[in-house]
Every structure is written in C-alpha cells, then in structure tokens.
Structure 1
Amino acid sequence: MITGAARGLGRACALAYARAGADLSLVDVPGALPGVPYPLGSESQLAHTADLCREAGAAVLVRHADVRDLKALHSVAADTEERFGAIDVLVNNAGIAAPSGMAAHEIDESEWQIMIDVDLSGAWRAIHAVGSRMIRRRAGSIINIASTAGLVGYRHFAGYVAAKHGLVGLTKAVALDYAPQRVRVNALCPGSVRDDSFMEGRMLSEIARTLSIPVSEHEETFVQAQPMNALVDPEDVACAALWLASDDSRQMTGSVLTIDGGFTAR
C-alpha cells in the first residue's frame, strides 16, 4: 500500500515493487488541496502509475483517498486486505512541500496546519489504518518517506522541517510500539531528488519556486550543495524502500536511512 502514488517517489516505489513481484494498492487524493499552491498528482497520473505496474506484472488496486481523512484510509486498508489477503508493506509517501518560502512568523495558521496535517498526521493516519492489521499477523514493514529536512533545518521551511522531524520521531516511537509483534518501522530521508520526467515528479521545482529560484536553473543550483555533485534519482529512493520491505533488512526497525549524496554528513 503506497500513498501519494500518482507520481514522483510514489510512482518510483510502485514500479520497484511491481518489478520485484509485489501486488499493489495505490493511493492518492488525487487533485487539488485548498491551501496547497501547486497541482498535486492527478487522477490520470495515478491511473498511469497503475498501468505501468500492471505492465510489470503486478495486480493493482487503485483508491482515491486524502490522508487527512482517517475513515477513508481505514476503508482503503480494508479494501486492500480484502483484495490481496494482507498488507505486507506500507509506504507513507504522501506529502507536500508548500506552502513554504517564508519566515516562521509569516506563516498563517491554516498554512501551518495543512503542512502538519498532510506530512505528519497523514502518515500517522495511514499507520492507524494498517498497524493493527499487521500486528494481528505479526508481520509487516512500514516505511515513512521523510527528508533531510527531518534531520537538519532549512531556512524559510519551518512547517516542512517541523513535520519531517516529527515523522522521524513518529518512526522511532512506533517502531518500539510494534517491535514485540515483529512489525518493523523505518524512515527514509532523501536529499534533493531530481524531477524525473518519466516519474512526473515536481517536488524539487516547487521547492525552487518557493525560494524564487528560476525553474530553468534549479537543478544546477541544488547540485552545488551536493558533495557528490549529483542529485538523487527517484530510483535511488525506491531501491532503498524495496530493501526495507525485504527480509534482507529483517533486523532493522526504528532506523533512519539517509539518501542525500553526503549532504547531511557535513
């Protein structure tokens, strides 16, 4: 079960799992959210992700749900379990990058609320919907897509940084809650992820826009801060998510994997 599956990292993870033989429950809003100043993944993009996964051999369930709606996520989890028998993996990928680009005191309450509600509370709601089902089976892997913003601060991104730091903390706390039942919970912290055209990602360009960086120059600008002189590819994150879902990482829980080309090593 992958939230935010219409495009970007959600699509990359979906394809990685499909190619590895998994069946998929793909979840996205899709459409606009009031207060988010850019278009989110569309219904057609979610359908395209599903088609790509079917071409890779996966059985696919598509569901529209807002991660701000706990009842809707419980319905998705029930549908997923009914279709496939169990939920082995949850990828909490749904998230927004804006409203951002302002000092903390310039954020109004509604802007603060939607950032926390989607990026932090949305992940908790998905865990709420799936966690008890995994506990009953004494098996499962929950993977929270955080960010380097969950490890360090970024100027003019107070809401995003607070939400992603909270998501790292949530990961550690839930990992301890679920460890006796052999349900693992880990976080991935990507750095600057390239807006791959095939994945239709646009997170990095939206971050650039909030910082008044010309879109035509944004990759060059972000690369300058990367010790390895390259942006992270969506597949880099998807490969890590695939590993965290596998038995090869069976002793990992409460961990935070950073995929940032050395950015946070400085």
Structure 2
Amino acid sequence: MVVITGAARGLGRVTAWECAAQGADLVLLDICADLPGVPYPLGTPGQLEHTADLCREQGAAVLTAAVDVRERSAIDEAVARTTDRFGRIDVVVNNAGIAAPSGKPVHEISDDEWELMINVDLTGAWRMVKAVGKRMCEQRSGSIVNVSSTAGLVGYRHFAAYVAAKHGIIGLTRAAALDFAPMKVRVNAVCPGSVRDDTSAEGRMLAEIARALEVSVGEHEQAFTEAQPMNSLVEPDDVAHAVVYLACDESRQVTGSVLTVDGGFAAR
C-alpha cells in the first residue's frame, strides 16, 4: 500500500491515480487548509476526496486524512491509522510542498518566510521518513520516494529558500538510503522540471511561480518551454510514471538515486 502526501491535487493526484491503476491501495494525505504566509490557496478537503474517488474508481481501497507535515503528532496518527487499516506501509511518496513565499532576492527573505519553506518542503519530508522508517526496517522492505525539483540540482534567482529546501531533499534522500540499505528499504528522489498545470489535476505550481516572478502564466510557460532542450513542458503523468517506477519492485536495486524528469533542462 502507498502513502502520498500533498495528494489533494496536482502531482499528488496524478501520482495517486497512477498507483491505483497499478493495483495499489492508498492513504492520501493533505493539509486541506490554507497556511498563513503562503500567498495562494492550498488543497481543500473536497479536492482530496475527489482524488480518493478517482482512485476508488480504479478499484483501490483508500483512506484520507488532513495532515500538516509540520506537525509530528498528525503524521504519527496518520501512520498509526494506516498500519491499523492495512497492516503495513510499502511505499511513501513525499510530495507535499509549497512554492511560495518566493520571488525576492535572498537578502530580502524574512526569517518567517525562510523557516516556513524549510519546515514544509524539507523538514516535512524528514518527519515522514522518520515516522515510517522504523516500520519499514522491521518489515525489511519499503520504498520512499521524495519529490525534489530541478531546483534541487541548480539555482534559481529569487527562490533561495525553495532551492535550499529542494537541495536538502537530495541530501536527505542519499543519507537515508545509506542508513536503510541494510534493511532493504530504498530511498530515492525524483526531480521534476517545469510541469504543466493540468486542469483535470487542478495543478497550479507553474502559475504560482509565475505569480511570484510577477509575469503572466503564458509568458512564464513560453520562457520555460524555450529553456527546455526538448522544447516542451513536462506533463504531470511523466513525473507520476517516474515515481511509480521508483516505488515498485522493478527498481529493487535502485536506492540513493535521483531521477530527473525535466526534458533535459539540468543537463545543460
């Protein structure tokens, strides 16, 4: 069974659907509320339930919960409910994250803005790894997939906190992979490039990056498309397929790896 954070919409929704299509049962977690300091609406309870319904249509058994990855008690409760319901956790996809507050040079970032970004995008993933690590080690199997970004591989102007958090995800992935390898628990990361905002998935990451940079969505999409060596934006299911590969037994000898899905952007 698979646990996915940030599952209400966007990459989380598409990844959940792909896992359900492969026969997985699911626990779908999302904050289901807005966060002070994040200048755009986050996932809602209705969106999370819609994701769950799409997965149930594929035949999956689905459990949902409102979980803020900044709160250890909420994570621990969700993990306990998961094991009570399904008996084990085979896969965790750490997808929860925010793109803003961003859009300013590093010396203008406030302490609160920095701490919010790191707490959600990096420390939230670590909390999930910590919560499931012991259980996976005891069952001597498991796969953790951390969603980083090309911002975990290269720098971007005016996104220092986001870049730092996503670079940190790569470091966390590699260190945890070594810690867990003797227990046959794998940890990998996927680094999406510029992902198109699919309306059916209600994704809005690219739009929020455009907003942070104070440019139109169309202008931003054109600039990123031109920057991609393959001259196209990444589709959400391109990333979901990569996550499914890292989650399943077909990648049983893959750990501590970073799979980049960016149309060649980071290869330049």
Cα distance, 1:224 vs. partner? 1.2
- Counterpart secondary structure, 1:120: helix
CA deviations over 1:11-37 (Å, ceiling 9, x no partner): 011000000000000000011011111
Question: Which structure 2 residues correspond to residues 146-165 of structure 1 after superposition, within 5 A?
Answer: 146-165=148-167
**Residue 200, structure 1, aligned to residue 202, structure 2:** yes
Corresponding residue for 1:171? 173
Instruction: Using the TM superposition, give the Cα deviation of residue 129 of structure 1 relative to its aligned residue in structure 2, in angstroms.
Output: 1.0
2:85 to 76, 83, 87: 83
- Structure 1 CA distance for aligned equivalents of residues 28 and 173 of structure 2: 22
From 247, 250, 258, the counterpart of 1:248: 250
Equivalent pairs, count: 266
In structure 1, distance between residues paired with 2:188 and 2:117: 21
Matched, 1:227 2:229: yes
What does residue 40 of structure 1 align with? Answer: 42
1:134 aligns to what SS in structure 2? Answer: helix
Q: Distance in 1 between matches of 2:133 and 2:211?
A: 36
Q: TM (normalized to structure 1)?
A: 0.99
SS at match of 2:32: coil
Aligned residue number for residue 71 of structure 1: 73
1:182 aligns with one of 159, 177, 184? 184
Following superposition, the deviation at residue 136 of structure 1 comes to 0.5
| Structure 1 position 165, deviation (Å) | 0.3
Corresponding residue for 2:131?
A: 129
Could you list the per-position Cα deviations for residues 157-198 of structure 1 after superposition, in whole angstroms to 9, with x for gaps in the alignment? Answer: 000000000010000000000000000000000000000011
Matched-pair contact (CA < 8 Å) for 2:232–2:263: yes
CA distance in 2 between counterparts of 1:70 and 1:224 reads 41
Paired AA for residue 140 in structure 1: G
Shift >6 Å, 4+ stretches: none
Residue 216 of structure 1 deviates from its aligned partner by: 3.7
> What whole-Å deviation, never above 9, does each CA across 1:132-164 have from its counterpart, x for those lacking one?
110100000000000000000000000000000
Write the letter of the residue equivalent to 2:235. D
Superposed CA offset, 1:202-228 (max 9, x none): 001100111111124332222111110
Q: Distance in 2 between matches of 1:249 and 1:145?
A: 17
- Give the equivalent residue in structure 2 for 1:52: 54
For residues 39-76 of structure 1, give each alpha carbon's deviation from its aligned partner in whole angstroms, at most 9, with x where no partner exists. Answer: 01111100100000001110000011100001110110
Say if 2:206 and 2:217, in contact at 8 Å, map to a contact too.
Answer: no
Aligned equivalents of 1:186 and 1:77: distance in 2? 20
State the secondary structure of the residue aligned to 1:198: helix
Matches within 5 A, 1:79-118: 79-118=81-120
Aligned to 2:15: 13
C-alpha RMSD of the superposition? 0.6
Q: 2:213 corresponds to which residue?
A: 211
Report deviation, 1:80. 0.6
Listed one character per residue, the Cα deviations across residues 75-105 of structure 1 (whole Å, up to 9, x for unaligned) are 1011011111110000000000000000001
